[in-house]
Amino acid sequence: MTDVQIFIDKIKNSQNMAVLTGAGVSAASGIPTFRGQAGLWKKYRPEELANPQAFRSHPDIVWEWYAWRRDLIRQVKPNLAHYALVEIEKKIPAFTLITQNVDNLHQLSGSINVVELHGNIMKSKCIDCNHPTSDNLNLKAGLPYCRSCGGLIRPDVVWYGEYLPMDALKKAQTAAMECDLFLSLGTSALVEPAASLPYLAKANGAFLVEINMEETPLSSQTDIFLIGQAEKIISEITHYL
């Protein structure tokens, strides 16, 4: 059997599957990745822009970058990789889709059990009191401030040096520990604590599969590593389920 056939077999027999997705899954929708060969952040170190200190010092620059990304994301659609995961979810009794992506495309494509580890770029909250805002922010009119406490409004995403939302992290860790099949899809597998989830799954007996355009630090630890485009490989696989 080829590795792809073995993976298909594993999906067919899985009672509990967890998938960790990263920016590579949204690349085919036209959202640049952070790292990798066509990485958006090649010019910058991600840590320099996406952190609370950078925001407090230069909220205009950080907001400009997020406003640009929001506009981009509003214009794109889910791709074959997102839809393939919707199909797989329908076939497996327990399925958890853990995503580091903040673009909402998994939900838009129809995935149901989605755990957002890094927040959602379309949401905003106060940097001081954490109060969420549903205001339609007009960033061209100036920086937005909180109606409750007057603090600066920031994107509701996780930045470097910040904790992940506790409930999301717990759900992700539980899914990793309980699954029999874990797929790491289109992520550089570098950013903690998400990067530990595949190892947690494997340590608890799961079969570990990775799909990526290039090797990552995880690749040598997997049971199967499939090199190539997520949208191509995973959507072809769904034809055989």
- Which amino acid would we find at residue 100? Q
Task: Tell me the site size for ligand OAD, rule CB under 6 A.
Answer: 28
Per-residue CA distances from 213 to 23, 148, 185, 197, 234 (Å): 12, 46, 10, 20, 13
C-beta separation of 89 from 98 below 8 A: no
Residues with active-site annotation: 118
Per-residue CA distances from 57 to 13, 94, 133, 163 (Å): 52, 44, 22, 20
Contact pick of 8, 27, 88, 175 for ligand OAD (by CB under 6 A): 27
Among residue numbers 3 through 22, which ones bind ligand OAD (CB under 6 A)? 22
Per-residue contact string for residues 95-134; x = within reach of ligand OAD by CB under 6 A: -----x-----------------x----------------
Among residue numbers 163 through 202, which ones bind ligand OAD (CB under 6 A)? 186-188, 190-191
Q: How many CA atoms lie within 13 A of 160 on its CB side?
A: 12
Among residue numbers 213 through 232, which ones bind ligand OAD (CB under 6 A)? 213-214, 216, 229-231
C-alpha 64/C-alpha 82 separation (Å) is: 28
- Which amino acid would we find at residue 129? C
Per-residue contact string for residues 54-83; x = within reach of ligand OAD by CB under 6 A: ------------------------------
Interface with ligand OAD (CB under 6 A) = 22-24, 27-28, 33-36, 39, 46, 50, 100, 118, 157-158, 186-188, 190-191, 212-214, 216, 229-231
